[in-house]
Amino acid sequence: MNVVVKQKTIGKTVGFEGQGLHTGNLAHFKVHPGSPNSGIMFCRTDLDPSLKVKAVIDNVCCDEARQTALIIGKGIVRTIEHLMATFHGLGIDNAYVEVDGDELPGMDGSARDFVEGFLDAGIVEQDAERRWIELEEPVYVDAGDQSLVLLPSSHLSVSYTLSYRHEDLKDQFLALRVLPEIFERELAPARTFCLKQEAEYLLAQGFGKGANVTNTLVFEKNVPIDNLLRFENEACRHKIMDLLGDLLLAGGFIRGHVIANRSGHALNLDLVRKIVMAKKDDKTDLPAVLGVNEIQKIIPHRYPFLFVDRIEEFSPGVRAVGYKQVSINDYFFQGHFPGHPVMPGVLIIEAMAQVGGVIMLSKPENRNKIAYFMSLDSAKFRHPVVPGDELRMEVSVKKIRARTGQCEGRAYVGDKLVCEAEVKFAVVEP
């Protein structure tokens, strides 16, 4: 039986200042106590002091690399992950962050200064119960040799494998349970890092303008240049800290065992989106089986270019199985090929893409939008599809972000695989 946990905030306002790791700009920010159930809120005081934005996945900027950024009106705030990790690690549910620039300061490359500031201010209980995020089934994402799995559990723990497969940084592993005292001692002091060749590349790309060997561990031959390690596996610990910061963007504290293999911010955020969608699945207003009328409420396609008759096993944002009954009366058979009718391969791809569009556009934030093709990869046609066949299309999401999504699909006639492909979409306003 789980013990009731009260929500928490800080006892008084705390201020920080320093240089942004990526922009190199001097930044100041203040963290104020937050009211119960308000969550973590951000504001750009230099743009619109009245606009407060919640730090949740729907407000994350997907075009930023090497860090996590939050969209605030017409601006953004970069590199929020160390501060978010501190809120997560210390168990702070509610706070209001005022920033006067486009990036939080990197401090010494770790979360240690944030932890010390919040502990000095005091962490106080509030008259509201914490609402946990708990899932009954595992949630996972993978990108080839990178993966994240969230298993159901009564508490939060992380097992992380770091493997750059490079002579300058050896493989590392750490597993621990996430508690405030463990975060303060074992994770918060771990600093951001990169390989020497990465540092040179990032500078050439315009990143890391505020980074140096005092706030970033630059590894060469398994040791940091002109610096000393705080932990033998400091890089692995920092990766766990980043992960904790990104996980809080699910909108609450998660109970589960996270198994991470070589993950970074992009994959972390993909997992958060899967977690959020799994939560929404429990409350979805869409049926598990969709007919033509329900399909047409989600995607804009109409006759003669609607190639899905029904959808079954529907899990919004995750997976669906679509069906198309191929008839000799379908218009495309008039010229492809007379006397030897074969369904055009591009239309099989289009049919699978329409199933993917239903999965993408069924998300509440994507309703009434349009999913456009961005790219098509790994398309293979195995067998012809002819009149009388029933086309079964099994489509699942590989990656889903605020404005883009990538799906993989396979089309079958009976047990015979007839086509497979990966499709990337852009989700836009009509």
Structural domain of residue 373, as residue ranges? 292-428
Query: Cβ distance 226 to 247 under 8 Å?
Result: no
Pick the most confident of 53-67, 134-148, 361-375. 134-148
pLDDT band at 1 (very low <50, low <70, confident <90, very high): very low
Indicate if 209 and 300 belong to the same structural domain. no
| Among 246, 281, 316, residue at a domain's last position | 281
Listing DSSP states for 204-237 in one string gives: HTT--TT--TTTSEEEETTEETT---SSTTHHHH
The answer to whether 336 is a known catalytic residue is yes
Residue 245: CATH number of its domain: 3.30.230.20
Handedness of CA 207, 54, 9, 181 (dihedral sign): negative
Beta bridge partners of 158: 176, 258
Shared domain check, 218 and 330: no
- Residue 283 predicted with pLDDT over 60: no
Position 214 scores a pLDDT of 84
Domain boundary among 217, 252, 281: 281
Reduced DSSP (H G I as helix, E B as strand, rest coil) percent helix, strand, coil of the chain, to 5: 25, 35, 40
Check whether residue 277 and residue 328 sit in a common domain: no
Please check whether residue 387 lies inside any domain of the structure: yes
Asked if 255 and 318 sit in the same domain, the reply is no
Please tell me which residue in 82, 265, 301, 383 is annotated as part of the active site: 265
**In sequence order, what DSSP letters do the residues of 384-430 get, joined into one string?**
---TT-EEEEEEEEEEE-SSEEEEEEEEEETTEEEEEEEEEEEEE--
Q: Which of 32, 336, 340, 383 is catalytic?
A: 336
CA dihedral angle for residue 204, residue 207, residue 209, residue 213, rounded to 10 degrees: -90
Q: What are the C-alpha distances in Å from 201 to residues 236, 403, 425?
A: 22, 27, 29
Residue 287 lies inside a defined structural domain of this protein: no
* Residue 1 in domain: no
pLDDT digits (tens, 9 = 90+) for 301-323: 998 999 999 998 888 778 899 99
Q: Which tokens hold the place of 372?
A: 């456009």
277/331 same-domain check? no
Q: What is the pTM of this model?
A: 0.67
174 with 41, same domain: the answer is: yes
Sign of dihedral through CA atoms 74, 80, 85, 91?
negative
Residue 170's pLDDT is what? 95
User: Domain check: are 254 and 114 in the same one?
Assistant: yes
> How big is the chain by its Cα radius of gyration, in Å?
24
- By percentage, how much of the chain surpasses pLDDT 70? 95
Residue 112 has pLDDT above 90, yes or no: yes
Instruction: Give the per-residue pLDDT at 316.
Output: 79
Which residues have C-beta within 8 Å of that of residue 297, sequence separation ≥ 6? none
Find the CATH number of the domain harbouring 385: 3.10.129.10
In a domain, 176, yes or no: yes
